[in-house]
Structures are given as C-alpha cells and as structure tokens.
Amino acid sequence: MRQDIGRGQSLSGQPRHPHRLGTIVGATIIHAPSSTKNAAGKRDPEMHQTKKGNQWYFGLKAHIGVDSKEGIVHSLCTSAASVADKHMLPDLLHGEERKVWGDGAYEGQREVIRKAAPHAQDMTSRRARYKQIVDELQRRKNRTKARVRAKVKHPFRILKRVFGFVNVRFRGLKKNHDHLCAAFALVNLYKHRKRLAPLGA
C-alpha cells in the first residue's frame, strides 16, 4: 500500500530546486499482538514475523521516503514485516530525485532506482567487509553517507516516542496504513513546528 504525504514545495512555500531533490528511504517495524487469545483464536493473517538480529518480531513494516534537505516524509508504504525493504523502494521515490540514500538493505538496486528516478544517483551503502577483508575506503564512504541517511530515523523516533505509535491499532494492513498516513502527516508538522509557528500555522 502506497501513499504520497507531502512533496513538491519547501516549507517556505517555494518550489524546491531540481538539483537539490533527494530521497532517503528507510523502514521500521510496528508490532502486532502475536497472541491467539482472542475471539477468532488466530493471529492477524495480514501480519507476519521477521527476524532482526537474533530476535523475532511480528507485525507490519512502515516504509518511508524522506526529503533529504528538509526531512519531510513525502511517501509511505505499508507491508507485512516479512517483506524485504528493497521490494518497496520504487514506490518510495517520486521520480524527480537527483540522489537516493539508503542503508545496506537497498544495496544492488541501481537498476530499480534508475527506472523509478532516471536522473538519480545511487547513494545507498555498500558492503565493506568480504570474508576477512575490510575495504576501508568503502567504510569511510558509508560513514559519510550515514550522516545524510540519519535523517530518516528522526520521523520514526517522533512516531514512536512522541506519539506512542509502537504497536498497531487495528487488524489488517489497510486500516493501519490509513492511520500511519495521518500519523506521519502529524510527524511532519511536529518536526517543523518552530518554523511553522511564526506563520501562524
């Protein structure tokens, strides 16, 4: 499920310059009850489990595209937690990007990026370790990219720590997707509340 939340203009109301357009992509897991102690005696069939590190999680994934300059969430996709991040990549791009940032989960998606955003440069992190050999140059490049990519974590922090959206509110993806759309719209307003206050917003 995909939704455009807000793009096309900066917070000042002026169109963004094409050469400055960039998107940072990322995803987070929203937990769902794994218990079967309910009226149906079953877990939500639209939610699935996935392993992150050494721990298993059950729920859905919220995939977002964030403006690299202003940190605004402009696109959202919702899927089961078991769906790999890279599969949602083309739906998170608006097509006018000049650069696309992402972590190692989006490595090797250059052709996908080219089809979705023909003028975009692939700035996703690359693997820096091969067996026992560490590519120090690639590691330094990844660290530089991570400074920009960190902006995608801010909306997730506000969503979970400020608005308390840690667990799903409904059964099924559709209702939770609609709720997430409204939540990320509020995240955009909260993130830039100090800039909006003088405008009387």
Are the C-beta atoms of residues 149 and 103 closer than 8 Å to each other? yes
Of 87, 72, 68, 108, the closest CA to residue 1 belongs to: 87
Phi, psi dihedral angles at 155 (to 5 degrees)? -60, -35
Average pLDDT of 179-195? 92
β-pair type (22-31, 99-101) = parallel
pTM of the model: 0.87
pLDDT at 201 over 60: no
With tokens 């859905």, the residue in question is 60
Phi, psi dihedral angles at 42 (to 5 degrees)? -140, 160
Compute the C-alpha angle 11/17/21, nearest 5°: 85
The pLDDT value recorded for residue 157 is: 96
pLDDT tens across 16-47, in order?
544 458 999 999 999 998 888 777 778 889 99
Are the C-beta atoms of residues 128 and 135 closer than 8 Å to each other? yes
Q: How confident is the model at residue 92 (pLDDT cuts 50, 70, 90)?
A: very high
Break the chain into its structural domains and give their ranges: 2-195
pLDDT tens across 75-88, in order?
999 999 999 999 99
